[in-house]
């Protein structure tokens, strides 16, 4: 999608023009000049029965050749509009443009502004929201997607500084595109997106952005002693991969932040087999890996001043004569031994070795992201990401990032009593499934045992990584949850140092 910024309303051309409709449109910057563009008709239309309700949209034919249609989006009282409202409105606009098969759209940017939302903010939100809203997965139907039309250009009409608006829109576009790539990874089936294929994708990303890339195969994992990842992979005919991407803001690579993602390409549950209804959809069990890769794409594009290492452990979790079983005792990379009580609690195992690996790489801060437990869905629903942390200050910064991106994150407690239950085993240092009560906490808390004293945040996206039905910012399927917030967190840490 090509982004353009234009200040001259009179010579604007597009298949459709998007206008934010608030109670007093005449207070919009440049309104009269703009209205002239339609021979004063705009005024007339806004007095018709258009809905001012937030996100209600009405399309109006203009009988003008250069802008044949206007799409009004309800903004209600513009003074009260938040960034989240505007992002949502643009997400809806994106969906509308997709439905109408629009190739060239324009947005009257200044109609989305108020005292707290500048033209640059609105530009960022427009590019991001429309980018996400127009997402569609290239599926495998033989009747093909070829006939589907994609948005090719978006022109932002504004009276403000064109360069600044353009720069800000570019950032929004990068955010939106990276979310969409993560969505596609989540939507890919497990037979096509194997650990090897995921690693190939990461390798390509590394080449595009100049990341130092390390892809470790089974033999290397064995050599290093990554017994937890290997145990999960034991029943598979597919090789595991440990994917490591380094973004070096400084040559010395001081104090890197580690982004650790769960990359289970399909989770059968193993011998603790999932019921037939619970197994469908488990191709999405690499949502954490997708979030990390999406964030790395943003980081590669925008080059923040912060060292980052991405670590993703990828394998499927299968059953076979070789598979690991309940009662097995395994030795992790950290040296800690683990009693397996449930082979379906495999995510925490691959994360454990990944977190240890990240620490060995010198990570001074760790964020792990994973579709880890059904427990988080029971606790918070499908629209909130659950979090745990061992560091208040680090988490506070993270919540600021989440507030900016509008991704809802809620922290759960992790108490000493919880940790005791994770450490309870007659035969090993830890057990991988202390119980079903509050098990989001046990899942994340288990990973925390490997972070030890390194400032750490755990994000459980089992609910948020996938949407059962279309939502404000996109269609049913992979959502790209946490892509934007992870990248925003890196930006914040770059600013802080």
> Which residue lies nearer to Zn ion by CB, 120 or 267?
267
Residue ranges that bind Zn ion, judged by CB under 5 A: 264, 267, 285, 344, 346-347
> Which residue lies nearer to ligand BES by CB, 226 or 422?
422
Question: 15 is in the binding site of which of Zn ion, ligand BES, none (Cβ under 5 to 8 A by kind)?
Answer: none
Closest CA to 32 of 141, 112, 93, 110: 110
The CA-based angle 366-462-279, given to 5 degrees, is 130
CA 349 to chain centre: 23
Question: 433 is in the binding site of which of Zn ion, ligand BES, none (Cβ under 5 to 8 A by kind)?
Answer: ligand BES
383 annotated among ligand-binding-site residues: no
> Which residue lies nearer to Zn ion by CB, 128 or 267?
267
Residue entry with tokens 């002693």: 225
For residue 54, what are its two tokens? 């937030």
We find the least distance from the C-beta atom of residue 269 to Zn ion, in angstroms, to be 5
327 annotated among ligand-binding-site residues: no
* Binder of ligand BES out of 28, 62, 155, 371 (CB under 6 A): 371
Count of residues in the chain: 497
Q: Under the criterion CB under 6 A, does residue 478 sit at the interface with ligand BES? A: no
> Which residue lies nearer to ligand BES by CB, 132 or 345?
345
Question: 297 is in the binding site of which of Zn ion, ligand BES, none (Cβ under 5 to 8 A by kind)?
Answer: none
Question: 375 is in the binding site of which of Zn ion, ligand BES, none (Cβ under 5 to 8 A by kind)?
Answer: ligand BES
Buried b / exposed e over 102-120, threshold 16 CB at 10 Å, is bebbbbbbbbbbbeebebb
Binding part of the chain for ligand BES, among 250-258, 302-310, 371-379, 402-410 by CB under 6 A, reads: 371-379
Instruction: Name the β-bridge partners of 330.
Output: 338
* Binder of ligand BES out of 96, 120, 346, 472 (CB under 6 A): 346
Distance CA 31, CA 161 (A): 17
Q: Under the criterion CB under 6 A, does residue 397 sit at the interface with ligand BES? A: no
Write the CB contacts of 331 (distance below 8 Å, at least 6 apart in sequence): 225, 227, 337, 338
Question: 374 is in the binding site of which of ligand BES, Zn ion, none (Cβ under 5 to 8 A by kind)?
Answer: ligand BES
> Which residue lies nearer to ligand BES by CB, 219 or 468?
468
Residues contacting ligand BES: total by CB under 6 A: 16
> Which residue lies nearer to Zn ion by CB, 126 or 351?
351
Q: Under the criterion CB under 6 A, does residue 368 sit at the interface with ligand BES? A: no
Roughly what angle, to the nearest 10 degrees, separates helices 439-451 and 347-360? Answer: 20
429: phi then psi, degrees, rounded to nearest 5: -70, -35
Distance CA 260, CA 252 (A): 21
We find the least distance from the C-beta atom of residue 373 to ligand BES, in angstroms, to be 4
We find the least distance from the C-beta atom of residue 267 to ligand BES, in angstroms, to be 5
Q: How far is CA 179 from CA 119, 135, 213, 240, in A?
A: 23, 9, 21, 25
For residue 359, what are its two tokens? 């620490």
266 three-state secondary structure: strand
Distance CA 31, CA 281 (A): 49
Write the CB contacts of 278 (distance below 8 Å, at least 6 apart in sequence): 269
Q: Are 448 and 458 in contact (CB under 8 A)?
A: yes
DSSP per-residue letters across 15-59: SEEEEEEES-GGGSTTHHHHHHTTTTHHHHHHTSS---STT-EEE
Q: How far is CA 17 from CA 96, 106, 130, 317, 472, in A?
A: 12, 5, 13, 49, 20
Binding part of the chain for ligand BES, among 25-33, 80-88, 141-149, 366-374 by CB under 6 A, reads: 366-374
326: phi then psi, degrees, rounded to nearest 5: -55, 145
Mask 248-287, x = binds ligand BES (CB under 6 A)?
-------------------x-x---------------x--
> Which residue lies nearer to ligand BES by CB, 96 or 267?
267
Q: Which of 29, 103, 274, 492 is catalytic?
A: 274
DSSP code for 483: H
**Residue 274 among the catalytic residues:** yes
We find the least distance from the C-beta atom of residue 432 to ligand BES, in angstroms, to be 8
**Which residues, numbered 374-393, are part of the site for ligand BES (CB under 6 A)?**
374-375
152 annotated among ligand-binding-site residues: no
Q: Under the criterion CB under 6 A, does residue 433 sit at the interface with ligand BES? A: yes
Distance CA 345, CA 357 (A): 20
> Which residue lies nearer to ligand BES by CB, 20 or 438?
438
Closest CA to 328 of 351, 314, 345, 352: 345
344 annotated among ligand-binding-site residues: yes
Distance CA 137, CA 144 (A): 11
Q: Which of 297, 348, 359, 384 is catalytic?
A: 348
We find the least distance from the C-beta atom of residue 102 to ligand BES, in angstroms, to be 35
Q: Are 314 and 289 in contact (CB under 8 A)?
A: yes
We find the least distance from the C-beta atom of residue 445 to ligand BES, in angstroms, to be 12
* Binder of ligand BES out of 50, 106, 229, 462 (CB under 6 A): 462
**Residue 241 among the catalytic residues:** no
29 annotated among ligand-binding-site residues: no
Give contact residues for ligand BES (rule: CB under 6 A): 267, 269, 285, 342, 344-347, 371-375, 433, 439, 462
Per the annotation, binding residues for Mn(2+) are 262, 267, 285, 344, 346
Q: Return the active site residues.
A: 274, 348
Per the annotation, binding residues are 262, 267, 285, 344, 346
């Amino acid at each position: 999608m090509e982004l353009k910024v234009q200040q001259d309303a009179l010579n604007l051309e597009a298949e459709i023009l998007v206008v934010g409709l608030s109670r007093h449109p005449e207070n919009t910057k440049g309104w009269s000049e703009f209205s002239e563009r339609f021979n004063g008709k705009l005024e007339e239309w806004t007095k018709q029965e258009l809905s001012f309700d937030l996100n209600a949209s009405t399309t109006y034919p203009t009988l003008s050749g250069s802008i044949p249609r206007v799409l009004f989006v309800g903004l209600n009282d513009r003074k009260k509009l938040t960034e989240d409202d505007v992002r949502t409105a643009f997400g809806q606009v994106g969906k509308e443009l997709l439905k109408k098969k629009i190739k060239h759209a324009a947005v009257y940017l200044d109609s989305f502004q108020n005292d707290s939302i500048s033209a640059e903010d609105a530009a960022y939100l427009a590019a991001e929201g429309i980018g996400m809203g127009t997402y569609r997965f290239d599926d495998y139907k033989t009747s093909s997607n070829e006939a589907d039309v994609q948005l090719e250009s978006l022109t932002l009409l504004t009276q403000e500084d064109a360069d600044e608006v353009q720069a800000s829109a570019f950032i929004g576009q990068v955010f939106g595109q990276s979310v969409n790539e993560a969505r596609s990874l989540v939507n890919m089936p497990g037979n096509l997106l194997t650990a090897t294929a995921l690693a190939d994708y990461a390798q390509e990303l590394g080449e595009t952005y100049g990341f130092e890339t390390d892809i470790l195969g089974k033999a290397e994992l064995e050599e290093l002693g990554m017994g937890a990842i290997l145990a999960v992979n034991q029943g598979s005919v597919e090789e595991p991969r440990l994917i490591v991407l380094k973004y070096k803001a400084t040559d010395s690579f001081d104090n890197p932040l580690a982004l650790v993602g769960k990359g289970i390409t399909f989770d059968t549950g193993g011998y603790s087999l999932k019921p037939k209804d619970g197994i469908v959809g488990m191709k999405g069990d690499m949502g954490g890996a997708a979030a990390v890769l999406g964030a790395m794409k943003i980081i590669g594009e925008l080059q923040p001043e912060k060292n980052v290492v991405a670590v993703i452990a990828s394998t499927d979790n299968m059953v076979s004569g070789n598979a690991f079983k309940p009662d097995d005792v395994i030795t992790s990379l950290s040296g800690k031994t683990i009693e397996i009580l449930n082979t379906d609690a495999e995510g925490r195992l691959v994360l454990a070795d990944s977190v240890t690996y990240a620490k060995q790489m010198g990570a001074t801060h760790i964020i792990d992201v994973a579709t880890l437990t059904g427990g988080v869905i029971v606790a918070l629903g499908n629209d909130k990401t659950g979090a745990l942390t061992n560091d208040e200050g680090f988490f506070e910064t993270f919540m600021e990032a989440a507030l900016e991106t509008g991704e809802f994150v809620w922290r759960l407690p992790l108490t000493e009593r919880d940790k005791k239950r994770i450490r309870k085993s007659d035969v090993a240092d830890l057990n991988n499934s202390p119980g079903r009560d509050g098990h989001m906490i046990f899942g994340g808390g288990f990973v925390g045992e490997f972070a030890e004293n390194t400032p750490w945040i755990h994000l459980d996206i089992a609910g948020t990584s996938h949407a059962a039905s279309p939502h404000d910012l996109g269609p049913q399927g992979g959502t790209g949850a946490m892509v934007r917030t992870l990248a925003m967190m890196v930006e914040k840490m770059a600013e802080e140092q």
